[in-house]
A and B are shown apart, each in its own frame.
Chain A
Amino acid sequence: MRQVYLDHIAATPLDPQVLEAMLPFFRDKFGNPQSLHSAGQEALIALEEARLRVAQLIGAEDSEVFFTSSGSEANNFALKGMAAARRDKGRHLVLSAIEHQSILHSVKSLEKSGFSSTLVPVDKHGLVDPEAVRRAIQKETVLVSVILASSEVGTVEPIAEIARICRAAGVPLHTDAVAAVGNIPVDVRELGVDALSLAADQFYGPKGSGALFVKKGVRILPFIDGGIQEGGRRAGTENVAGIVGMGKAAEIARAELPERQVRIKTLRDRLIDRLPQKVDRVYLTGHRERRLPHQASFCVEFIEGEGMLLNLDMKGISVSSGSACTSRALKASHVLLAMGIDHALAQGSLVFSLVEGNTAGDIDYLLEVLPPIIDRLRKMSPLYTKFLEESQK
């Protein structure tokens, strides 16, 4: 059976060159970068080279890059570390309503220690209005965090504009760029952000490897106390192979990004343009133009996402959904709800995200397989029956 992987946002396939770069560090190059002997120094050199590659991908200095175990850890590190470093200046945070759970829950955790927060709403396309951020900033605000691009709906936020507002207000800005880095050009200086999170598994690198950019001079408290790794801010023996893999993936992404973007966007547009032609009452979620080049998300009316996901899986197609049933917490996606999509429609969420290697044939196969699945599930749905009865009247 044809296998079509369309779940970039969950994990990208590992680039074979990345695997090759990593393998020696699982075998003979096992030294600890903190050791003074040559085995250790060999690992340290590889580690620092990877740091440089990651820095180059985002236009940063290598000294501004701190390795973490994931994008979620980078988000926790930024929120908790930066808020705590400035807590004597105030205890208020500003964030958007469509942040990742690792941001939302970090804020929840900070709220237990005396912080408060303001959620900035988004419009129906999932866009944050920079003016709304300006209005949300108070005298007490010590940190603003706005996602660079939502993996769930693909919308790319006006971070540079938000950064100008934050700078004028004297408040540092963090952006969760996990879904964006390696997939669209991201330059920390052009964006003007003070901190930025990224993860290797979003650009063909390994899982368990993320990083936080912290602009020189921006204060952040250590996230893991212990040794001197990562400038004493994130102790623990480094995941050398994972970091080397991230460095290699960053190097490849930097070189191939312009070409990759165009290629993947062409395929994505084939899906965005054709699916609504094939099936009635299917709605694109997120902004049509300002969106990640690999992301195409929809809400399919009258049915629930998991049923579609399972049926597609049986046809060899891997996708995601933001429906309540597919989430382990059984809650509909807060991102879709924040965009004003009602609960029933949000349950019909389907998220396609393309990877390198997908072909036009893959998209056409999906377009052939999905409509009958939707049709079958709709025939089972009491909501669809009700809709048909009402439209006959």
Chain B
Amino acid sequence: MIYTDKVMDHFQNPRNVGVIKDADGTGQVGNPVCGDMMTFYIKVKDDKLEDIKFQTFGCGAAIAVSSIVSEMALGRTLDEAMKITNEIVAEELGGLPKNKLHCSNLGADALHAAISDYRKKHAAEQAEVSQEAGKCYCPYCDGPIEGLEGACAACHVDLEECPHCGNLTKKGEEKCAKCGADLEPE
């Protein structure tokens, strides 16, 4: 057998297969041309992954990777889940054949895509709220910021207002994180 016992276990008994109809975020990566396609659905509560379901079109490795990614991420905070890397996934499965390592990339990518989708929707809601409240959010960690200049209290990035688009961006960077305009060095 080309796969480890753990891969075969997750391939044979995949955890969290399915669809969440009213998902807070969905992420789809890959396409049938390359041989693999994954869709992840997430429910988020208190910044934690309360439920995860996936569907996968692909080889044994792709199915096993989706299953273990869902297992590893369930119950974690979004930030923790974003830190699940391809290497960690492959390692957790006891290794994958060299030519199947790209499957592990897809698993983490699909989960991250679902989280990004959630955050995008969430950020849109937050933006509406923030306009009312006049609050700003750090472009690096999405934490709330008091006032326009200064450092983000949550992630400690020094921020300044981009003179071109008015959004906050990291101090000392060459380009604005939001609009990409060149920033003059101090």
In contact, B32 and A307 (Cβ under 8 angstroms) = no
Secondary structure dominating the interface of B: mixed
In contact, A325 and B59 (Cβ under 8 angstroms) = yes
In contact, B59 and A383 (Cβ under 8 angstroms) = no
Q: B74 within 8 Å of A by Cβ? A: no
* Interface-central residue, B33, B38, B62, B102, by most chain A CB under 10 Å: B33
B102 surroundings in chain A (CB, below 8 A): 330
In contact, B39 and A382 (Cβ under 8 angstroms) = yes
- In B102-148, which residues have CB < 8 Å from any A CB? 102
Interface-lining segment among B50-58, B79-87, B153-161, B163-171: B50-58
Q: B94 within 8 Å of A by Cβ? A: no
Residue on B with the closest CB to A303? B57
In contact, B55 and A306 (Cβ under 8 angstroms) = no
What is the CB-to-nearest-CB distance from A391 to chain B, in angstroms, rounded to a whole number?
16
Whether A302 contacts B99 in the complex (CB less than 8 A), given A325-B36, A383-B32, A383-B37, comes out as: no
Number of interface residues of A (CB under 8 A): 23
In contact, A380 and B32 (Cβ under 8 angstroms) = no
What is the CB-to-nearest-CB distance from B30 to chain A, in angstroms, rounded to a whole number?
10
B100 surroundings in chain A (CB, below 8 A): 325
In contact, B32 and A330 (Cβ under 8 angstroms) = no
CA distance A379 to B14 in the complex (A): 12
In contact, A379 and B37 (Cβ under 8 angstroms) = no
Whether A382 contacts B56 in the complex (CB less than 8 A), given A325-B62, A344-B32, comes out as: yes
In contact, B33 and A343 (Cβ under 8 angstroms) = yes
In contact, A379 and B17 (Cβ under 8 angstroms) = yes
What is the CB-to-nearest-CB distance from A301 to chain B, in angstroms, rounded to a whole number?
11
B55 surroundings in chain A (CB, below 8 A): 380-382, 385
Q: A303-B57, A347-B32 are in contact. List 9 more A-B contacts (CB 8 A).
A: A302-B57, A307-B11, A307-B63, A326-B59, A380-B55, A381-B55, A381-B57, A382-B37, A382-B39
Across the A-B interface, the 5 shortest Cβ-Cβ residue pairs: A325-B59, A344-B32, A324-B35, A306-B59, A382-B55
